[in-house]
């Protein structure tokens, strides 16, 4: 989940690397470091903490170089400190490396290398790789071959960039399981774990695949497999702009991304709705839609927030498609030898398209010949490339660690898939047109909810010192309760639980007293009367009630201590609306506690390690 950046060319690499690391800091911010060559000699500067601290160190040293690599870390092996920060060097400093991933057999390799006389400075698994490369070079192998041989002995995942001070004309990069891209410029080239780190310099991108090693020179790159087979790589022009990944005048990325959801949701559905036919057009599914419609079973696999979107998708598919649907945590799905048949469809949801557990689950499902569909946000990501077919959510870059607009985009895409397949099965034209009409109203309804920001901020002020929260919903809004609780936990560090409202009496109600805020998602749908009964039960025990309700609901005002009134829509689309007040509530509670909402402690945006 770390961020890596590299540059080779004719200009000073330090500003390029620092700028890229700042763009990648959502991937990890425990420590940071840069390694360059100065007159053929390696120079490594690193520190505990954020990239801004590294920048001050480098300014003081006034370093300039035309080749270098940089790293911002999310700690896996070894605590966050300067010694464990990357880059890691060999014994004499002639080789240094940055690494994103986990080496599973590092203890075995470390024991072997110690027997050969190597000593280790850090507690990381990453340091093993650089000593292993040197070990092969000492046996007479060339630099590139030594990298290949070393990686053939490594079990685990990696995105790597390596510099050899004795061969200063190139950086060697390699990938297995961790994302890696090459940026192609004019007599200069770049390496990064994410396109966002490079977009200020080039839009020409090469995606490195698993098992590939790339020698990156200033004026060219040479790609081979780990078996030393030549590869032809395509250079792809990406459409992302620098403005898309800036804060746009907002104090944080998270509030920017919440506040642009009327636009991001519109982009997720733009050009995909056909009113005359009461259906959706999803070009990425054209070749597989009939097979999808004929599926005997659908499984949706995801992690974190995407798993909550998957739960909403389960409600959609079973209501409208009448196909049995299951939702699986990717981390569990991949390890328990799941029963998968060729007539199953497995949908994999991942904002980044690089989530390690989701990718592993995808590969297992493909091996068992199921139809594998990807739903992700990042164009060209591993999930997108490895799925049989899929749909992009087109939410735009999401930098805040706590996902907001990607979640609502995922809900839109799942609803579009539902509409498309339902019309292939037995949904009537009239009912299809009603759904399309409701779809078209959603962006404006989101805009109205965002106008409630000040009201929600006032509510947050009253609960910023709460120790616990309970979130309750029924039906489609039970997953929204889970997501609301997750958002609060992620960024405010307040313990929160999401439950189906009917389960409240099976344990959680024991926690309720006058200090317990309870958030009810209570739109006027078929479960409304039951929700009202649950609210009465909390009220009788003096819990503080915050209700997310519809604009025309006056009954709930007499029961709740706080109400947030939002527009109505059909049940399948309601979670797109009900989640937004919960995002804002979590955001404002965290800000009022003085916390960093974009980079919450211990978290990283894209979980590319297990």
Phi, psi at 389, each rounded to 5° = -165, 175
Q: Which residues contact 512 (CB under 8 A, 6 or more apart)?
A: 470, 518, 538, 541, 542, 543
- Name residue 206's beta-bridge partners: 182
Query: Does residue 11 carry a catalytic annotation?
Result: no
**Alpha carbon distance 506, 422 (integer Å):** 36
Handedness of CA 358, 361, 223, 105 (dihedral sign): positive
3-class secondary structure, 216: strand
Task: At 438, list the tokens.
Answer: 């409701």
Residue 387 near residue 280 (C-beta atoms within 8 A): no
Of the candidates 176, 405, 487, 605, the residue annotated as catalytic is 605
Of the candidates 2, 13, 303, 372, the residue annotated as catalytic is 2
Q: Is 535 exposed, middle or buried (0-12, 13-18, 19+ CB in 10 A)?
A: buried
**Alpha carbon distance 469, 485 (integer Å):** 7
Pairing of strands 371-376, 389-392: parallel
**Alpha carbon distance 585, 589 (integer Å):** 6
Q: Which residues contact 216 (CB under 8 A, 6 or more apart)?
A: 6, 8, 170, 171, 172, 173, 182, 189, 191
Distances (CA, A) of 269 to 388, 412, 440, 489: 22, 7, 9, 30
Query: Does residue 50 carry a catalytic annotation?
Result: no
Report the 10 Å Cβ neighbour count for 122: 17
**Alpha carbon distance 250, 399 (integer Å):** 13
Residue 479 near residue 308 (C-beta atoms within 8 A): yes
Report the 10 Å Cβ neighbour count for 269: 21
Which residues are part of the catalytic machinery? Answer: 2, 605
């Amino acid at each position: 989940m770390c961020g890596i950046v590299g540059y080779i060319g004719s200009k000073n690499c330090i500003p390029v690397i620092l700028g890229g690391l700042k763009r990648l800091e959502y991937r990890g911010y425990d420590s940071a470091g840069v390694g360059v060559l100065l007159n053929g000699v390696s120079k490594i500067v690193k520190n505990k903490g954020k990239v801004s601290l590294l920048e001050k160190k480098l300014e003081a040293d006034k370093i300039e170089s035309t080749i270098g690599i940089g790293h911002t870390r999310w700690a896996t092996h070894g605590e966050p400190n300067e010694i464990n920060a990357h880059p890691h060097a060999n014994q004499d400093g002639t080789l240094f490396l940055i690494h994103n991933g986990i080496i599973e057999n590092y203890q075995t390799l470390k024991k072997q290398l110690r027997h050969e006389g190597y000593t280790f400075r850090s507690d990381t698994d990453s340091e093993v790789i650089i000593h292993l490369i040197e070990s092969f070079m000492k046996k007479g192998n060339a630099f590139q071959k030594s990298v290949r041989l070393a990686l053939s002995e490594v079990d685990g995942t990696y995105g790597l960039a390596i510099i050899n001070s004795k061969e200063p004309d190139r950086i060697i990069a390699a990938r297995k399981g961790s994302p890696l891209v090459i940026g192609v410029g004019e007599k200069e080239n770049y390496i990064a774990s994410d396109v966002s780190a490079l977009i200020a310099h080039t839009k020409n991108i090469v995606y490195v695949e698993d098992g590939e090693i790339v020698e990156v020179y200033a004026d060219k790159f040479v790609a081979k497999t780990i078996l030393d087979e030549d590869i032809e790589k395509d250079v792809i022009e990406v459409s992302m702009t620098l403005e898309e990944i800036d804060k746009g005048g907002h104090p944080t990325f998270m509030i920017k991304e919440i506040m642009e959801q009327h636009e991001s949701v519109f982009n997720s559905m733009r050009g995909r709705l056909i009113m005359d036919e009461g259906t959706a057009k999803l070009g990425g599914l054209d070749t597989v839609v009939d097979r999808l419609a004929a599926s005997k079973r659908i499984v949706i696999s995801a992690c974190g927030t995407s798993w909550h979107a998957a739960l909403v998708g389960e409600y959609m598919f079973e209501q409208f498609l009448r196909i049995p649907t299951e939702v699986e945590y990717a981390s569990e799905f991949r390890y328990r030898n799941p029963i998968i048949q060729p007539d199953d469809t497995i949908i994999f949801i991942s904002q980044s398209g690089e989530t390690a557990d989701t990718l592993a689950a995808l590969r297992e499902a493909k091996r068992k010949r199921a139809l594998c569909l990807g739903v992700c946000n990042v164009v060209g990501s591993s999930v997108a490339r490895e799925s049989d077919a899929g749909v992009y959510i087109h939410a735009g870059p999401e930098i805040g660690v706590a996902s907001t607009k990607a979640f609502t985009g995922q809900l839109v895409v799942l609803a579009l898939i539902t509409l498309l397949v339902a019309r292939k099965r037995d949904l009537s034209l009239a009912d299809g047109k009603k759904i399309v009409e409701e779809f078209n109203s959603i962006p404006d309804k989101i805009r109205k909810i965002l106008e409630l920001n000040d009201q929600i901020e006032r509510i947050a002020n009253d609960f910023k010192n709460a120790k616990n929260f309970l979130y309750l919903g029924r039906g489609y809004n039970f997953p929204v309760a889970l997501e609301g609780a997750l958002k609060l936990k992620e960024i405010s560090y307040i313990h929160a639980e999401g439950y189906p409202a009917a389960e409240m009496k099976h344990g959680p109600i024991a926690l309720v007293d006058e200090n317990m805020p309870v958030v009810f998602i209570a739109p006027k749908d078929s479960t409304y009367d039951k929700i009202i009964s649950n609210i009465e039960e909390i009220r009788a025990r003096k819990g503080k009630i915050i209700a997310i309700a519809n604009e025309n609901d006056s009954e709930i005002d007499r029961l709740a201590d706080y109400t947030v009134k939002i527009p109505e829509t059909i049940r399948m689309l309601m979670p797109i609306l009900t989640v937004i007040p919960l995002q804002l509530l979590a955001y404002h509670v965290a800000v009022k506690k003085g916390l960093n909402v974009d980079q919450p402690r211990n978290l990283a945006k894209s979980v590319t390690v297990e």
